[in-house]
DNA sequence: ATCGTCAATCGTCGATTTGCGATAAAGAGG
DNA sequence: CCTCTTTATCGCAAATCGACGATTGACGAT
């Protein structure tokens, strides 16, 4: 934390941006979920298919299964997608509310 | 959620993923520009003020000048903002077309 | 010409991300 | 029971990010 000791008499006097700060982190977090080509493709895939087994996602991407699993974990932690266990498989689907939240936050920029 | 049959889902007969791939990278790149709270705040600041000197941005954020400069560089490289040298100061402003590009890409997700 | 201000860049540090192979865990099926 | 399939997780390595102080370069003013 930079604590400037140098005198700063009359430069800034604007405590106007408090709600800004709150949504800034939320937007950053959601944007970050989509800030990787592989994750963009996963999100698009889930939107277009509405539901998708993990194996299909892996087959769709030029990445190793473990890497795709990592991206899925990141997307799940961000709340953008959800995964339901279905026997030995896992069925992922988009979380519409989170996606809408991202859309709104970006649109209201 | 509509669940596919447990049998093989005949889904992959679609050579449609060429434009997907192209915009996936573009979206990821633009999303990454706003995937940090400080950069979100910078972008918002520039939108609300339309133009802003670097010093003001530094004063607005709880970060060192060099760190803010880094974020400005990232935003500039992504095309989201532009900087014009004005004497010893540098005046930054938003790049509306890039911002719109991001908004469209997110909205069309 | 010299000084002070403003912003970019350099070098460094620690933390995080990204990718992979290998392994473990959980069911389904023979 | 054993085996196969499917997915998550565990290291591990390379790369990148984020933050900072210090320095540099550019410009205006004195």
Q: Kindly indicate the confidence band of residue B14, based on its pLDDT and cuts at 50, 70 and 90.
A: very low
| Rounded mean pLDDT, B52-71 | 96
b/e map A37-54, b = 16+ CB within 10 Å: bbbbbbbbbbeebebbbb
CATH annotation of B27-107:
1.10.10.10
Cβ pairs A/B, distance under 8 A: 103
Average pLDDT, chain B: 85
The C-alpha of A73 sits at a distance from chain B's nearest C-alpha, in angstroms, of: 17
Please state whether beta strands A52-53 and B81-86 pair in parallel, antiparallel, or not at all (unpaired): unpaired
Tens of pLDDT, residues A28-60: 999 999 999 999 999 999 999 887 899 999 999
The C-alpha of B67 sits at a distance from chain A's nearest C-alpha, in angstroms, of: 11
The C-alpha of B64 sits at a distance from chain A's nearest C-alpha, in angstroms, of: 6
Give nearest nucleotide to A35 (CA–C1'): C17
Residue A49 touches partner B, C-beta closer than 8 Å = yes
How far apart CA B83 and CA B35 sit, in angstroms, is: 20
**Residue B22, CA distances (Å) to A40, A104, B26, B80 in order:** 11, 24, 7, 19
ipTM over 0.85 threshold: no
**pLDDT at residue A93 greater than cutoff 60:** yes
Query: Which residues does chain B have within 8 Å of residue A25's beta carbon, measured at their own beta carbons?
Result: 37, 40
Residues 20-39 of A with CB under 7 A from strand D: none
- Quote the pLDDT of residue A98: 97
Tens of pLDDT, residues B39-51: 999 999 999 988 7
Q: Which nucleotides on strand D sit less than 7 A from a protein beta carbon?
A: 5-11, 17-22, 25-28
H/E stretch holding B31 reads helix B17-33
Cβ burial, residue A6 (10 Å; 0-12/13-18/19+): exposed
- Quote the pLDDT of residue B19: 64
How far apart CA B81 and CA A25 sit, in angstroms, is: 20
Q: Kindly indicate the confidence band of residue B22, based on its pLDDT and cuts at 50, 70 and 90.
A: confident
How far apart CA A64 and CA B87 sit, in angstroms, is: 52
**pLDDT at residue B62 greater than cutoff 80:** yes
Domain definitions of chain A by residue range: 23-107
| Structure token digits, residue A59 | 């087959």
User: How many residues are there in chain A?
Assistant: 109
CATH annotation of A23-107:
1.10.10.10
How far apart CA B50 and CA B42 sit, in angstroms, is: 11
Query: Which residues does chain A have within 8 Å of residue B32's beta carbon, measured at their own beta carbons?
Result: 31-32, 35-36
Which among B20, B35, B41 is the nearest to A41, CB-wise? Answer: B20
CB contact at 8 A, A72 and A81: yes
């Amino acid at each position: 934390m930079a604590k400037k000791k140098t005198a700063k008499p009359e430069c800034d006097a604007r405590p106007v941006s408090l709600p800004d700060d709150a949504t800034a982190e939320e937007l950053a977090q959601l944007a970050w979920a989509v800030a990787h080509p592989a994750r963009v493709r996963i999100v698009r895939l889930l939107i277009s298919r509405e539901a998708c087994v993990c194996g299909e996602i892996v087959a769709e991407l030029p990445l190793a299964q473990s890497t795709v699993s990592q991206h899925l974990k990141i997307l799940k932690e961000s709340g953008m997608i959800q995964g339901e266990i279905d026997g030995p498989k896992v069925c992922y689907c988009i979380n519409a509310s989170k996606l809408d939240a991202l859309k709104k936050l970006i649109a209201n920029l």
